[in-house]
Amino acid sequence: MHSRTKYGLLLLGLTLLVLGLRLLVAYQTAQPSYQSYFTILQTEAIHKTGLPEYTDPYSYEGRRYEFPPLFYYLLALVTLVAPAAAAMKIVPNILMATLVPIAYLIAHRLTKSRGVSLLVALFAGFSPLLFTSGLNDASTISLALPLGAAFVLALLDLEEHPLRALIAAAALTFVSPLVWVFLAAFVAYFLILAAEKMRITPAMTEAALFAFLLAAWYTIITYKDALQRYGFGILAGSLPTTVRLASFGEFTLLGMVYAVGVVPLMLGSASLYRSSFEQRSRRVFFLAALGLVALLTGFAQLLPLRTALILLSIVFVLLAAPALSVLAAYWRKSRFTRLQPWGVALLIAFFVLTSVLPAIVAGVYPGSSPTQSELDAMAWLRNSTPAGSVVLAAPKSGFLLDELAHRPSIADENYLLISNPDAILGDLDQAYTTPSTVAATEVLARYNVSYILVGPAENARYQEFGAVLQDRTCFPIAYRNPQTLVLSVNCTLSAPSVAEAR
C-alpha cells in the first residue's frame, strides 16, 4: 500500500476513534450542558423569525445580547433535520474532532514527516482540555477552535495560497472575538522577528492588516454597546470579579500541566528551546507568539482562564511536532534504530496514561448537564406558576429557566451588558445563604422573586443554605421531586425593585 494512502487511512481511523469516544462519553449524560440551552433558544428563534434572539424575552429587568450569529445559524440548519438535544451533542463533537486532521496537516507542514504528524494528531485528539472542550457543550468555542487552527494552517502556506488565509481569517472573525487573540499574536510575532533580526515578509504583513481591518469592522458592528462599556473585556465576556477570582483560585501549575498534557508540554518546550538557541524557525516563532498571547491575556483576565489554557494546549500540541522530528532523526542515527517502534509505543503508552485516561474520566463528570429532576421542575414552573414569575436560581440554571420554564431568573452565565453583575451575584448568594429570614426576604423583594429553585446546580454552588430552607412559613415547598425543590415566597417587604431603582 502506498505510504500516503496508508497514513491517510490511519488518520481517518484516528479521527473516527476520537469522534466515537467523544460521543460515547458525551452520551453518558442524557441532556446537553446547561449552557447549551442558550444555543437551543437561539436556534428556535431562528426557526421562527429567521433571526437570533438578541433581546432576552424572559429577563426580569430587560437585557440585550450581543454575539456573532454564524454558529447559531449552523445549529439551526442542523436542527431542521435532527432533534435539538442530539444536535447539541453531535455537532460540537464533530467540529472538535476536525482538530485531528488539521493538527496532522500543520505538523506535516512543520516536519514533512507523516509518522510525526500522526502522533501530533493523536495528541490533538486526546489532550485533556481539548478532549473535554465541546464534549457536552454547544458553544461557539467548538467552532472557533478548529477555525483558529485552520487559520494557523493557512498562514503556514501563506506565500503559495494567500486566499486560504484570508478566508480562514474571515470565518474566524464571523464566529468569535477570539480572532483578536490571533491578531495580538501577529504583533508578538513581529516583535520576536525584530528581536531576532529576521525579516518580516510582505505577505504576512498584508495578511495581518487584512485580518485587523476585517475584525475591527465586524467587532464594532457586533459589539457596539459592549465595546463602549468593556473595551477588550468582551473577550472574557465581561466576567464578574467573583467569577474571575474563583477561576484563578482553582488554578495550580500542576493543574495546568495536566490540562495541557504532560507529553505535549515536554515536547513543545523542547521545540521552543531549540528554536530559541539552536535553529531559528519562523513557524515555531508564530506558534510561540500565539501561546504567549494566550497566556498573557488569560492572566490579565482579558480571556477566560480555561479558554487561554485551551489555546495554550493547541500551541504545545503543534510545537511537539518539531521536537518529535528531531528525536526521530537522532534515533535513526543511533545504534538503536531497530528499537524505534518500541520507543514510539512507550511514548504512546505514557500519553495514554497521562492524558487519554484522565481526559475520558474528566469528560464523564456529571455536573455539567441538568438532571431529569431539574427538567421536571422546569415543566412544573412553566405549567403551574403565573407567567412572568421571577425565579431565584444559580446562574448555571438561568438558560434552563429561559428555554424550558419560560420564567425570568435574576442571573445566568452570560454577563455581557449586565449592569453591576458582581452586586447581583452577591445578592443571589446572600439570598440563598443568609440565616436571616428578613435579610433573605429583603433581597427577594428587591428582585420581585416569587419562587426559589433548589436543585443540583444550587447544591453544587452552595455548601450550606440559610433561611430559605429553614423557614417553612415564609418559604413553603411548592414542588418537590427526589433531587429538586421549588419554594414559594410568602413573606414580603416593601423594598424598591432593581428595575425601579434604575
Give 196-246 as a DSSP string: TT-PPPHHHHHHHHHHHHHHHHHHHHHSHHHHHHHGGGGGGTT--HHHHHH
Grid cell listed for 153: 494552517
> 330, 347, 367: which is the final residue of a domain?
367
| Same domain as 56, residue 198 | yes
| Same domain as 152, residue 107 | yes
| Same domain as 336, residue 406 | no
Sheet with 477-480, strands from edge to edge, namely: 390-392, 449-454, 485-488, 477-480
> 367, 392, 422: which is the final residue of a domain?
367
| Same domain as 348, residue 205 | yes
Instruction: Give the number of C-alpha atoms closer than 13 A to the C-alpha of residue 55, restricted to the C-beta side.
Output: 3
Q: What pLDDT is attached to residue 502?
A: 44
Distances (CA, A) of 367 to 30, 205, 362, 482: 12, 45, 11, 17
| Same domain as 333, residue 439 | no
What is 232-259 written as a DSSP string? GGGGGTT--HHHHHHHHHT--HHHHHHH
| Same domain as 268, residue 319 | yes
Q: Are 236 and 304 in contact (CB under 8 A)?
A: yes
Instruction: Give the number of C-alpha atoms closer than 13 A to the C-alpha of residue 137, restricted to the C-beta side.
Output: 20
- Quote the domain boundaries for residue 348: 3-367
Grid cell listed for 361: 474520566
| Same domain as 167, residue 146 | yes
| Same domain as 346, residue 484 | no
Per-residue pLDDT of the chain (502 residues; tens, 9 = 90+): 667 788 889 999 999 999 999 999 998 888 888 889 999 999 999 999 999 988 887 776 667 888 899 999 999 999 999 898 899 999 999 999 999 999 999 999 999 999 999 999 999 999 999 998 888 888 899 999 999 999 999 998 888 888 899 999 999 999 998 999 999 999 999 999 998 888 888 989 999 999 999 999 998 888 887 777 766 666 555 666 676 666 666 667 777 888 888 999 999 999 998 887 778 888 899 999 999 999 898 888 788 888 899 999 999 999 999 999 988 887 777 666 777 778 888 989 999 998 888 888 877 765 678 999 999 999 999 999 998 899 999 999 999 999 999 999 888 888 777 778 888 889 999 999 999 999 999 999 998 999 999 999 999 888 889 889 988 899 999 999 999 999 999 987 755 555 444 4
Q: How far does the chain reach from its first CA to its final CA, in angstroms?
A: 72
> 334, 367, 400: which is the final residue of a domain?
367
Q: What pLDDT is attached to residue 501?
A: 45
Number of domain units in the chain: 2
Helices (H) and strands (E) in the chain, counts: 26, 4
pTM: 0.89
Which DSSP symbol is given to 302? S
Instruction: Give the number of C-alpha atoms closer than 13 A to the C-alpha of residue 399, restricted to the C-beta side.
Output: 22
| Same domain as 355, residue 382 | no
| Same domain as 261, residue 147 | yes
| Same domain as 140, residue 195 | yes
Q: How far apart are CA 375 and CA 381, in angstroms?
A: 10
| Same domain as 434, residue 288 | no
